[in-house]
Amino acid sequence: MSEPIRVLLVDDQELIRVGFRLVLEAEPDIVVVGEAGDGAAGAARAAALAPDVVLMDVRMPGLDGIAATERIVADSPASRVLVLTTFDLDEYAFGALEAGASGFVLKDVQRHELAAAVRAVHRGDAVLAPRVTRRMLDRLAATRRPASAGPDPAEVLTEREHEVFVAIARGRTNAEIADALFLSESTVKTHVGRILAKLGARDRVHAVIIAHRWGQVPDNASDPIAPLPD
């Protein structure tokens, strides 16, 4: 049996942390290794505990979740951050992802959705709340090709890598990409690693942001980022 996914809870409301702990520790493959009540403490605990996934609230006193996410990504790169908030406002979702979060969900997700989101982020997939996705992509479309967008994917990726890149931007998993392109999952995984390296992308969510900033996904593309898995 594989090692359980180690989760750190960061939220200034103790009852919220208790609820998340009860939900997650009911899952056989997830264990909560620590808690923190503010962003600064969360970043410090992440550095000390090296969790696989950090569940991060956005609105907290002192260091907020966006700043804490940025600190964790810089200091504890092996830990992935899944941001949770009550508010589905654009600036929170976008700010958290720009800071390095690997996913964003709202606190009213169902218990099975929360566990699924933790698993998805842990394995490197992108997780975004459906209510946030469209507005976030609209914002990305309005800021295409800034100086910070990095190299043009069309110039640095091979034809096959570009196909995989667009599929990532549409929210496809490695298994779905493999089926669509008649490749093995291991081959797709290799392509994904090369794509991230060539584009300087930290993970799949960052690759999605790059794809939309460079206009690599048609505006009429369906389900550009997959919703939470069932």
pTM for this entry = 0.75
Residue 181: the pLDDT is 92
Maximum Cα interatomic distance, the chain, rounded to a whole number of Å: 50
User: Rounded distance, CA 23 to CA 80, Å?
Assistant: 19
> Per the structure block, which two tokens stand in for 13?
């409301």
The pLDDT score that the predictor gives to residue 61 is 84
pLDDT band at 29 (very low <50, low <70, confident <90, very high): very high
pLDDT at 136 over 70: no
- The dihedral over CA atoms of 101, 114, 173, 75, expressed in degrees to the nearest 10, equals 30
User: For residue 73, is pLDDT > 60?
Assistant: yes
HEC secondary structure over the chain: CCCCEEEEEECCCHHHHHHHHHHHHCCCCEEEEEEECCHHHHHHHHHHHCCCEEEEECCCCCCCHHHHHHHHHHHCCCCEEEEEECCCCHHHHHHHHHHCCCEEEECCCCHHHHHHHHHHHHCCCCEECHHHHHHHHHHHHHCCCCHHHCCCHHHHCCHHHHHHHHHHHCCCCHHHHHHHHCCCHHHHHHHHHHHHHHHCCCCHHHHHHHHHHCCCCCCCCCCCCCCCCC
pLDDT tens track for 140-194: 555 555 445 568 888 899 999 999 998 888 878 888 899 999 999 999 999 999 9
The predicted pLDDT at position 135 comes to 62
Hey, what are 184's tokens?
Answer: 């093995």
Q: Name all domains of the chain by residue range, CATH numbers in brackets.
A: 5-123 (3.40.50.2300), 146-213 (1.10.10.10)
What's the sign of the alpha-carbon dihedral 57, 142, 227, 196?
Answer: negative
pLDDT reported for residue 226: 39
- Average pLDDT score over residue span 218-223: 49
